[in-house]
Structures are given as C-alpha cells and as structure tokens.
C-alpha cells in the first residue's frame, strides 16, 4: 500500500516533470517501484527517453526494464503500435524469454484477440504452472469479456495455488457480492479477516454482507463486526456507526424484547447515534436534519 508520503513524492515529481524541471527517470523508477498506474505519464516520458539514443544508453541494464514498463503502459493506453515496437526490441534482446512471452500474450489481449491470448497464456502455464502474473491475466481477460463465471473459476483456481493473496480474495468477494452470492462472499471475507485481522475494511465488508443476508444470527454477528470496525478506526467509520444502528433496530424487530441483550444493544445503538450526530454537526451540518429523520425512523 502506498503511504501518504510516497504519494506526495510521486505527485511532486510528476508536477516537476510536466513543467520541464527534470527528474523523469527518478519519476519513472518510483512509479515502477510503487506499482502505480500512471500509464499516460509513463508512456509519454518513457518514450522520450527510449527515443533518445544518448539518454537510453545512459540507463545501462535498466533500459530493458523501461522497455517493459513502457510496453505495458502503451497497452493500457491502447497505443498498441508503441507496445509492439517495445516488445520487438525485447524479443531481439531476449529471444525465447518467458517474461517477454507474457508481454506478447498481453498484446494479443489488448488487441482483443481473446482466443490467441488464451492459447498463449495456456502455453506459458504449461511451462510454469506457478506464474502468478499469467493466472491474474486470465482473470482480467475473463472480466474484460464480461465472462464473470469464468473469472470466478480462474480466481478459485488461482487461490488454490496462492491462498495468501489478499487482493485475490477481496476481488473474488466483490464479484460474489455483485452477483448477490452473499454466502460465498462471506467465506472470502472470513479468509481475509483470518489473515489480516487488523484491517478495518475487511471487518466492515463482512458486516455489510451479513446484514444483507439477514436473520437473527447474521445480524448479531454483523453488529459485532461493525463494532470491531469502530474500534479499529478509533470511532471514525460513519458506515459502521450506521451499521450498529441498523442491526440493533433489525434485531429488536425480530426479537421484540425477548433478547436478554436488549438493554446493552440499545445502549450501543444510542452511543452510535450520538457519535453520528456529533460527526454530522462537525462535517455536514446541513445534513443533520436528514440524519435525525433517519434515526427516528429506526426508533432511536
């Protein structure tokens, strides 16, 4: 994850480069290191170096890394001719390279030649079944074609091999939610919470899905995870505060006073409502009346 300081440094260098203040290579290196998607800038300024023989020669071995970086950026910007030119240079320098082979497959994908790209990726995986980049390209290609079921299949196969990939679990969960396959999404978020228990976004997303599923047990668990989100964020999650109010209200309707935890639940709901009102008064005073109306509808 990119820190605020790193983001500020990238933005500073970007402004400097755009205004002709130099630092192009430093900027490109930082974008590459942080894995940022600044494709238009990488394409523009990367080509300015590659098209200048003197500047290109000064890079030494890093010249080939820049060719790869610019090729990917060009495909992202749909400048397939520029990508093809970069890949040709790399093919001449590294004949038979699997890394260059991935770029060739990606270019087929960028051109919309899905069948040829799939064959290329399959061939690469036969030689190296643990190539994470190729597995992820297959997922991306399925999503680009609108083939959600294939994307789910490829993600599940990928996670069988790389169970510790948090981003893949989150992506799979989001696809399940978009398809209203909430029980499957619950499993994904449980995996994320087990592996990253201090990330509040996982707790919040898990609670949202449980609340959507409904039912007394799910609502009670959702309320606990909304509470843990509030704890992990130092009380700064407006969505989690709303979640507490909604869950407590829904639980009250289902149990109708039979639940022994009713008093504690109502107290937690009241505290959440007070925190929401305080937050709205500070950040959105014009919306306080809307908030009050909403809370009244929940009988708070």
Q: How does pLDDT run across 96-112, given as a tens digit for each residue? A: 999 999 999 999 999 99
- Cβ contact 262:255 at 8 Å: yes
Q: What is the mean pLDDT of the chain?
A: 92
Structure confidence at residue 268 (pLDDT): 78
The pTM of this model reads 0.84
Sign of CA dihedral 194, 196, 198, 201: negative
Phi-psi region of 2 (alpha: psi -120 to 50; beta: other; left: phi over 0): beta
Alpha-carbon distances, residue 176 vs 154, 171, 180, 219 (angstroms):
14, 9, 6, 20
28: pLDDT strictly greater than 70: yes
């Amino acid at each position: 994850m990119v820190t605020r300081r790193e983001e500020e440094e990238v933005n500073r260098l970007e402004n400097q480069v755009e205004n002709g203040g130099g630092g192009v290579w430093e900027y490109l290196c930082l974008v590459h290191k942080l894995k940022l998607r600044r494709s238009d800038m990488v394409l523009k300024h990367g080509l300015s170096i590659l098209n200048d023989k003197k500047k290109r020669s000064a890079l030494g071995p890093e010249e080939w890394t820049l060719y790869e970086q610019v090729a990917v950026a060009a495909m992202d910007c749909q400048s397939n001719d520029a990508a093809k030119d970069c890949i040709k240079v790399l093919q001449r320098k590294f004949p038979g390279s699997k890394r260059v082979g991935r770029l060739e497959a990606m270019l087929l994908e960028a051109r919309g030649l899905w069948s040829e790209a799939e064959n290329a990726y399959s061939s690469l995986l036969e030689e190296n079944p643990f190539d994470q980049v190729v597995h992820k390209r297959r997922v991306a290609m399925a999503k680009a074609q609108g083939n959600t079921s294939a994307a789910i299949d490829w993600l599940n196969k990928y996670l069988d091999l790389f169970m510790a990939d948090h981003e893949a679990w989150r992506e799979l969960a989001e696809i399940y939610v978009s398809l209203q396959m909430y029980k499957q999404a619950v499993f994904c978020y449980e995996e994320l919470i087990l592996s990253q228990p201090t990330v509040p976004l996982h707790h919040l997303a898990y609670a949202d899905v449980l609340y959507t599923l409904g039912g007394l047990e799910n609502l009670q668990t959702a309320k606990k995870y909304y509470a843990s989100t509030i704890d992990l964020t130092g009380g700064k999650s407006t969505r989690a505060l709303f979640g507490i109010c909604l869950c407590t209200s829904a639980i009250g309707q289902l149990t109708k006073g039979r639940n022994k935890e009713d008093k504690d639940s109502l107290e937690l709901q009241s505290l959440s409502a007070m925190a929401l009102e305080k937050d709205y008064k500070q950040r959105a005073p014009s919306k306080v009346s809307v908030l009050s109306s909403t809370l009244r509808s929940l009988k708070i």
